[in-house]
Amino acid sequence: MRRAACLLLLSTFVLGAGCKGAPKKDDDVKDEKNEKSDKADKKGAGSAGAAASADAPKAVAPNPNDAFFTIQENKDSGVYRIRAGAVTKLEAGGCSYIEDLAVDHDGRAWLRCLGKVFRSEGDKLVEHGQLSSVMQLAIGRDGSVWAGTSSPAAVHRLVKDAWVEVKAPDGLDLTWDLVVDDKGKPWISTKGAVWVREGETWQPAPLGNDKPEDSYPSKVVPTDDGTVWVLTDKMAFIGIENGKPGTRTFPNFQEPVARPGGGVLVENNTGYAATITVYDGKGKQEKTITPTSDKVFFQSSGDSSKRLTADKKGRVWIGTGYGLIVVEADGTTMQQLEPGRVPGLTGANVQRVAVAGDGPELPKLGDKVRGGVKGKVNVDKPTQVELCAGFIGGFDGKFYGPTPCSGQAVLRSMKTDKDGNFELKDVPPYNMSLLIQTDATSWVRRDPKCCTDLKTGQVKDIGSFDP
C-alpha cells in the first residue's frame, strides 16, 4: 500500500448485532478448489454472482491518485471525490451515515457506514460483501482489507471478495481497535492490551516497561518507515522500532498521523487556529505549517487523525469546518476548497479525508462568494449581534472569551440601531448561527438557517428574532 495516512481508520467498538450468514474460516479457504477461487475473483462486491447486463455502461475505473472527503452537513452530507480537477459527490447507495473512510492503492474509497462495508465503484458507493455489525475497518499497505465485528468480537480479512474469519486474540474485550502495519500485520488494541499478529498467532505488543491504556483501547498508529506508535498508560505515544520500544515519544494530545514514505504529521489546534508539524521517519522536524486567516480559514471539525493526511507529493490535506485546505509541499502555499468557489462542492464541514498516491490535480478556484445578511431583533435599544459558524448544534449560554464567537476566523458582528435593525456584510456561504446579547454577560442563539445558499452580492433577509 503506497498511501500511509489513509491506511488506518480507528473507531470505538460498541456492542451490536452479529454477522449475517456464516463467514468462512481460514481452513475453509485453504481447502477451496482453484475453480471456486477463479469464480470468486470474478465476483463484484456483494454481487452474489449476478451477471452484468451485456449492454450495461462500462464501469468507471478507479484512479490511483484520487482524493476523497466526507461532509457531515444536512442535505450536503456525503462522500466527495476529487479527480483531474473536478469534484464529484458519489451516489450513497445505502451508505447513510459515514463512520470510517480509507483509500486503497488503486484509488478506491472504502467506508464503514452503520456497521457495513462500502466501496466506491465508479461514481457510486456499493456495499461490499455480506458482513454486518462492523465496528473497525483497516486497509493495509499491502492492499489487504480487514474488519472487526461484534457479538462475539471477531476479526475478518477480505480474501477474493469473501470475508474470512481470523481467530481473534484470547481475552478480547468488547471495546477494541484494529490497524495494519507496513508489513501487513494487523494490530489490535483493547482495554489493557495490545496484540500484533505474527504468522498465525497473536503476540503481545513489545511495549517494554510501558503498559497499554486500561480505561479505553490504546491508539495504534503504524507508519511507512516501520515505526508503530502506541498510546500507553503514561498518556504518551511511544514508538516501537524493529520490534522494540524506542526513545521517541509524543504526548497524548499530539496524535501522530502517518505520511507516505515515512514520518508523521502532528496537529496542535485551539479549535479556531492550528499548527501542523511535519516529521521525517527519523523524528527530525522538517517544517511547521500554519493555516493563517490571511490565506485560509481553519476551524476544527473533529478528530485530526481522520481529517488530516498527506499525499506522495508532500502536500498536506486538512479537513476543516470551512472546507478542505490543501497545503503545497513548500508548507506555505495553500488554498481552500469551499462552497461557491468549486463546482460540485456544496457543504463545508469536512470531517474525513483520504488521498491515494500523488493525489489529484486540484480544482481551479473561482472568486470567493460573499454577500450580506440583514434582519431585526425585537428590541427598543441598540443590541450587539454576532454571526459565526459555531453553535450550529446548540448553545447553552456558556462560552469562553469576551463573546461566544470570539476567536473564530469567520465572525461578523455589529450593534443594531435603536429599533433592532442590522445588516452584516462580507458573509461567506457557510452554516452560520446568529447570537444576540441579552445583558452584559449573557447571549442567546437564534438559528436563521443561514447562509449556505448565499450568492455573491446578495443581501439576505433572515427575518426578525426575539432576544
CATH number of the domain bearing residue 455: 2.60.40.10
What is residue 22's predicted lDDT score, i.e. its pLDDT? 41
Q: Which of 146-155, 215-224, 452-461 has the lowest mean pLDDT?
A: 146-155
The number of distinct structural domains making up the chain is: 2
The answer to whether 165 touches 25, Cβ cutoff 8 Å, is: yes
User: Considering the domain boundaries, does residue 197 fall inside one?
Assistant: yes
Task: Please report the beta strands in 46-115, taking only residues with DSSP state E, as ranges in sequence order.
Answer: 67-71, 78-83, 86-89, 98-103, 109-113
User: Considering the domain boundaries, does residue 102 fall inside one?
Assistant: yes
C-alpha cell at 224: 511507512
Cα separations (Å) of 82 from 98, 140, 386? 18, 22, 34
- What is the residue range of 216's domain? 8-48+60-67+85-279
CB proximity list for 359: less than 8 A, separation 6 or greater: 65, 67, 311, 312, 313, 315, 317
How many Cα neighbours within 13 Å face the side chain of 66? 29
pLDDT band for position 391 (cuts 50, 70, 90) = low
User: Considering the domain boundaries, does residue 437 fall inside one?
Assistant: yes
Give the mean pLDDT of 148-171: 88
What is residue 392's predicted lDDT score, i.e. its pLDDT? 57
Q: How far is CA 172 from the centre of its chain?
A: 26
Q: Which of 279, 301, 329 is the last residue of a domain?
A: 279
> Are both 266 and 145 inside the same structural domain?
yes
**Predicted confidence (pLDDT) at residue 367 exceeds the cutoff of 60:** yes
> Are both 124 and 235 inside the same structural domain?
yes
**Predicted confidence (pLDDT) at residue 450 exceeds the cutoff of 80:** yes
C-alpha cell at 61: 475505473
Pairing of strands 371-377, 459-465: parallel
Q: Which of 3-7, 176-180, 261-265, 295-299 has the lowest mean pLDDT?
A: 3-7
Give the mean pLDDT of 13-41: 40
C-alpha cell at 356: 491515494
Give the mean pLDDT of 152-158: 88
What tens digit of pLDDT does each residue of 407-435 get? 888 899 999 999 999 999 999 888 888 99
**Predicted confidence (pLDDT) at residue 324 exceeds the cutoff of 60:** yes
Q: Which residue has the higher pLDDT, 270 or 53?
A: 270
Give the mean pLDDT of 22-37: 43
User: Considering the domain boundaries, does residue 234 fall inside one?
Assistant: yes
Most trustworthy range by pLDDT among 101-105, 231-235, 339-343, 430-434: 101-105
Share of the chain above pLDDT 70, in %: 85
Could you tell me the CATH number of the domain that includes residue 161? 2.130.10
> What is the separation, in whole angstroms, between the first and last Cα of the chain?
56
**Predicted confidence (pLDDT) at residue 195 exceeds the cutoff of 90:** yes
**Predicted confidence (pLDDT) at residue 283 exceeds the cutoff of 80:** yes
User: Considering the domain boundaries, does residue 300 fall inside one?
Assistant: no
Strand partners, 119: 110, 126
**Predicted confidence (pLDDT) at residue 352 exceeds the cutoff of 90:** yes
pLDDT band for position 11 (cuts 50, 70, 90) = very low
**Predicted confidence (pLDDT) at residue 34 exceeds the cutoff of 60:** no
CB proximity list for 330: less than 8 A, separation 6 or greater: none
User: Considering the domain boundaries, does residue 37 fall inside one?
Assistant: yes
User: Considering the domain boundaries, does residue 30 fall inside one?
Assistant: yes
Burial category of 379 from C-beta neighbours within 10 Å (exposed 0-12, middle 13-18, buried 19 and up):
middle
What is residue 434's predicted lDDT score, i.e. its pLDDT? 92
The answer to whether 147 touches 119, Cβ cutoff 8 Å, is: no
**Predicted confidence (pLDDT) at residue 263 exceeds the cutoff of 90:** yes
Cα separations (Å) of 150 from 19, 249, 395? 8, 32, 35
The residue behind cell 484470547 is 170
What is residue 3's predicted lDDT score, i.e. its pLDDT? 38
> Are both 39 and 155 inside the same structural domain?
yes
Cα separations (Å) of 268 from 2, 88, 220, 277, 343? 26, 31, 19, 8, 31
Q: Which of 279, 314, 341 is the last residue of a domain?
A: 279
The answer to whether 62 touches 68, Cβ cutoff 8 Å, is: no
Helix/strand/coil for 43: coil
What is residue 142's predicted lDDT score, i.e. its pLDDT? 85
What is residue 393's predicted lDDT score, i.e. its pLDDT? 56
| Cβ burial 41-63 (10 Å sphere, 16+ → b, else e) | eeeeebeeeeeeeeeeeeeeebb
Cα(113)–Cα(93) distance, integer angstroms: 11
pLDDT band for position 50 (cuts 50, 70, 90) = very low
> Are both 210 and 91 inside the same structural domain?
yes
Q: Which of 221, 250, 279 is the last residue of a domain?
A: 279
As a whole number, the mean pLDDT across the chain is 85
User: Considering the domain boundaries, does residue 176 fall inside one?
Assistant: yes
The answer to whether 80 touches 103, Cβ cutoff 8 Å, is: no
